Structure 1
Amino acid sequence: MTEPGLAPEEEPRGDLTVRINAMPGDTNANGDIFGGWVMSRMDAAGGIAAVDRAQGRVVTVAVDAMTFIRPVKVGDVLSVYTEVESVGRTSMKIHVEAWAKRFRTATHEKVTDATFTFVAIDEEGRPRPVPRPLED
């Protein structure tokens, strides 16, 4: 589904999982939003997707090759999209993209993406198998 302000070839990959406003308290000394703030929102969104797929607790164990393409500014709405890329016995790779809808415009730009690896854990914090999907 293409959101207003997006060209069809610039569609986000995956499901919209988190949306949040970037606020003045989230800025660095340059007035841009901290990259760590963006990464935190991406980790939270990836965790939501991983919990849904694992049907239980998960932990983040790795983030692969995050490149910040464009800055996020105060007032932008950050939208984070997730897609399960692969599932192993106890782990899964979740592709996560962050897009900014620019404040008071229809412009929607990809600002970063990465692959997060999550491991399913039991109540004692030990790895546990990720359930196989139900067949239709």
Structure 2
Amino acid sequence: MADRDPAIRVTAMPADANAYGDIFGGWLMSLMDSGAGLVAARRAKGRAVTVAMDGVEFHRPVKVGDEVSVYCTMQKVGRTSMVIATDAYPRERHSEEEQLVTSARFTFVAVDDGGKPRAVDA
């Protein structure tokens, strides 16, 4: 994925892990949601909220100290919604090699100040 910039990049810390040193899946899903949310907000030019997450599958553990990069691709833009393909790639601290750990599709809806759906291109 070195040919494009991640939406977000974070180092996994001990507070994010279980007793075996593996990062909690919920922490990783939260990071992916944050990355996709940044992409959605830029596309919507304002607030966008997560309404669904599909297809999450964990392929291998993420360890404390791994640098996790989240890459996002806009797949579909509807009137008020956006679907964003999101992939997480950890790499060891002293390595350049990234390996896909999980993928998911996030659906966001653009909302106004009152929390009501609004047109993405408004």
Letter paired with 2:108? F
Q: Residue 76 of structure 1 aligns with which residue?
A: 66
Cα pair 1:15 1:82 within 8 Å, conserved? no
SS in 1 for 2:42: helix
Letter paired with 1:71? P
Verify: 1:91 aligned to 2:81, yes or no: yes
Question: Which has the greater radius of gyration?
Answer: 1
Q: Residue 105 of structure 1 aligns with which residue?
A: 95
What's the Cα RMSD here?
A: 1.5
Cα pair 1:15 1:83 within 8 Å, conserved? no
Q: Which blocks of at least 5 consecutive residues in structure 1 are unaligned?
A: 4-10
Q: Trace 1:1-136 onto structure 2 (pairs within 5 A).
A: 3=2, 15-131=5-121
* 1:15 CA displacement: 4.5
Q: Which blocks of at least 5 consecutive residues in structure 2 are unaligned?
A: none
* 1:28 CA displacement: 1.5
Count residues in correspondence: 122
* 1:56 CA displacement: 0.6
Moved over 6 A (4+): none
Letter paired with 2:41? V
Letter paired with 1:101? R
In 2: Cα distance, 1:93 partner to 1:107 partner: 28
* 1:107 CA displacement: 2.4
Q: Deviations 1:37-60 (Å, cap 9, x if unpaired)?
A: 000000000000000100110110
* 1:25 CA displacement: 0.9
TM-score of the superposed pair, with normalisation by structure 1: 0.84
In 1: Cα distance, 2:78 partner to 2:29 partner: 24
